[in-house]
Structure 1
């Protein structure tokens, strides 16, 4: 029986690709921020990652946690903001869990605490740590955020460690709540806490979170499509490493079809690998099947789910945006309103709902669909 070689491409959500190409600069910035906090004794400014859906923001947050764990033996507290739900309660719970892990951790051993999962490493031991807090007759009252941060940082320093906080889907945060969080962090920068904060969200965070000075003065990184060299590397390397290389023609065609969109690169590679089963290489003859399967999967998944989640008014807005996108690169909110035969103010609530859902985002006056290729799908 032939040995099965696993498909080396990973199109699932929050799965680091086998070849994380084209993101060297942001990973270097992550490593530097951790070095500043861990080795220089200063609290660095936050890192802010922006980009559309499927460009790898969440993957970078995961890579940051891995760097914190392997290079500095730091715990990571990951937060994913949900629509119309405050995040501070969850943050306080996870900060308390991290504090307890540090307080109870003997050198070189993991701990059990209770009731939350923290992706982290205690003193150099990696993996997911299941946090089970020991039952007590009287639960401890929740600490204010600044006190909770102070306690976990003090506990971390006992082990010559620190804390990484990652926040995903920042565009969904209520501005007052995010402002309180930012103000707390900004207030304690002079205290030189061993703390690094990395946040990620759609490009609309520049508009929706405008005025939150702490993040406006952060180190911003825009994650977009990969360039041609990085796209080819992301396609070629996993196949080469898995023992079924791609021919040059196959790489050229798949790279063009992907448009450099990281999620599409993984889907195309995945389906090209599947189409080439039993072959020694992934050839140009396998590409049409891979492209068809990828387009079908994007349509049935990302595109269809966002369309079904849209109200009739929101679909009208999306259809108008898609039609305008066929003939011009930059579409403004005013132009969408004009195409709908109304004034911008009359449809601003529709636009804002679509932004909150993550279906569209804005860059200054420009309005764009968050998932590449969806405009063509809507028109079809």
Structure 2
């Protein structure tokens, strides 16, 4: 079939032709915006889930919904930047939002003050002026110039929120990869949003991140669990997975035989990114409609090879030899969350010796802790990839188990 018309999009964060199985989250976001627009408060949300479940796609969908509602959307992918760089990024985004909410030639006194607060926020850690917002607005003394990120971000979001309210608009801050914010940055955002909620201003922060973010938010501010919902998204159910696979093809006049759909759902386990990758590979090898189970089986090798070389490999390549050995030992134990002590035993070491390695892998976003003392992969099927990519793990416990099995 024609590659140009291939309807599948196995790219990081790329929105598929249809989004299925996420109606609950999109309706919750629409409710959030509409309540804030009416001057009422509502819990915001931070979506959590493993890699490949569509968190970024859903966050992009939220951005589209907010724009339809005439909200200003500030989009940011978090990374391990220091507070000064984070402040500069936020200042640039807030400046742009202010100018869209209220063009400079129409500034009221409130808008002028908001602009001055944005300048104060940007200059607070850069008194020498080595970085500039590129506008001639003097800072507002006593606002966003405390030198404390939480206090300063609170001042600037309140100032922007007041302009948004005046203009009968709103501001949605959408942050992906929230787990990569520093504790100080996450705390500052939560603190600032808490104040806008108290003032009933149309400002919200919605994030997406790995499963540990709910715990991180709670550690940052004890009231985070009351300020946010933490909906978890996972693989799609069988019916939704089947729809995600077949509907894009049907739009191109191509159908799947029922056993082909069943096999594809079994292979992908309903993970949205995996569905897009398998669908793409099937389309490339199928010669005609309807697509058969044989087509899906033939495409399976290319599908696994593509995942191994990109989706999985890019994460393994970031790991040190010891980190790789730790993940390989986890894979030896199976796909579930594993006790730190069991992983250490497989590696022939003490758990305390490997504590820093485990912490590093969590910090890198390769592992998360579903409960105390346990760690799990943040990527579905990563255990199977580790067994394929690192076929031998020469450590005492593995050798002993293999000798026992052979005997």
Normalized against structure 1, the TM-score is what? 0.85
Residue aligning to 1:12: 11
Separation of aligned partners in 1, 2:93 and 2:359: 31
2:318 aligned partner: 309
- What is the rounded CA distance, in whole Å, between the counterparts of 1:81 and 1:310 in structure 2? 20
1:48-63 paired onto structure 2 within 5 Å: 48-63=46-61
* C-alpha contact (below 8 Å) 2:193/2:204 kept by paired residues: no
1:214 CA drift (Å):
4.1
SS in structure 2 at match of 1:222: coil
Contact 1:5–1:242, Cα closer than 8 Å, also in 2: no
**Cα distance, 1:227 vs structure 2:** 0.9
Name the SS of the counterpart of 2:259 in structure 1.
Answer: helix
SS of the aligned residue for 1:210 comes to helix
Gaps of 5+ in 2: 107-131, 145-151, 389-407
Q: Identify if the C-alpha distance between structure 1 residues 4 and 352 changes in structure 2 by more than 3 Å, giving closer, same or farther.
A: closer
Between the aligned partners of 2:290 and 2:191, the Cα distance in structure 1 is 55
1:275 is the counterpart of 2:285: yes
Match of 1:265 in 2: 275
- Of residues 210, 217, 234, the one that matches 1:224 is 234
Report the equivalent of 1:173: 181
Measured at CA, do residues 209 and 155 of structure 1 come closer, stay the same or move farther in structure 2, by a change above 3 Å? closer
Equivalent residue number for residue 25 of structure 1: 24
Deviation at 1:337, TM superposition (A): 2.2
- Would the alpha carbon gap of residues 214 and 289 (structure 1) be closer, same or farther in structure 2, given more than 3 Å must change? farther
Residue 35 of structure 2 corresponds to 36
Aligned to 2:71: 74
Q: How does 1:1-380 map to 2 (within 5 A)?
A: 6-38=5-37, 40-70=38-68, 72-86=69-83, 87-104=86-103, 135-136=134-135, 143=144, 144-211=152-219, 212-217=221-226, 218-277=228-287, 279-325=288-334, 329-365=336-372, 366-380=374-388
**Residues 235 and 265, structure 1, Cα contact 8 Å, conserved in 2:** yes
**CA deviation profile, 1:105-141 (whole Å, cap 9, x unmatched):** 899xxxxxxxxxxxxxxxxxxxxxxxxx995467768
| Contact 2:322–2:357 (Cα < 8 Å) also in 1 | yes
CA separation of 1:138 and 1:151: change in aligned 2, threshold 3 A: closer
1:336 match: secondary structure: helix
C-alpha distance in 1, partners of 2:138/2:378? 43
Secondary structure of the equivalent of 1:42? coil
Distance in 1, Cα, partners of 2:137 & 2:32:
39
Deviation at residue 44 of structure 1 after TM alignment: 2.1
The structure that is helix-richer by fraction is 2
Deviation at 1:302, TM superposition (A): 2.0
Could you tell me which runs of 5 or more consecutive residues in structure 1 were left unpaired when the two chains were aligned: 108-132
State the Cα distance separating 1:341 from its structure 2 match: 2.6
- Give the number of aligned pairs: 349
Tell me how far apart the structure 2 counterparts of residues 226 and 174 of structure 1 sit (CA, whole Å).
31
Any idea what SS the aligned residue of 1:77 has? strand
Decide which structure has the larger Cα Rg and report it: 2
Q: Shift in Å at residue 317 of structure 1?
A: 0.6
RMSD: 2.4
Q: Distance in 1 between matches of 2:56 and 2:92?
A: 21
Contact 2:154 2:195 in 1 (8 A): no
* Contact kept in structure 1, 2:316 and 2:324, CA below 8 Å: yes
Q: Please list the CA deviations of residues 139-195 of structure 1 after superposition, one character each: whole Å capped at 9, or x if unmatched.
A: 768943123212322222333110111111111121122112212221332210111
Q: Distance in 1 between matches of 2:17 and 2:82?
A: 34
**SS of the residue aligned with 1:221?**
coil
Distance 2:3 2:324 in 1: 44
Name the CA distance, whole Å, in 2 between partners of 1:272 and 1:209. 41
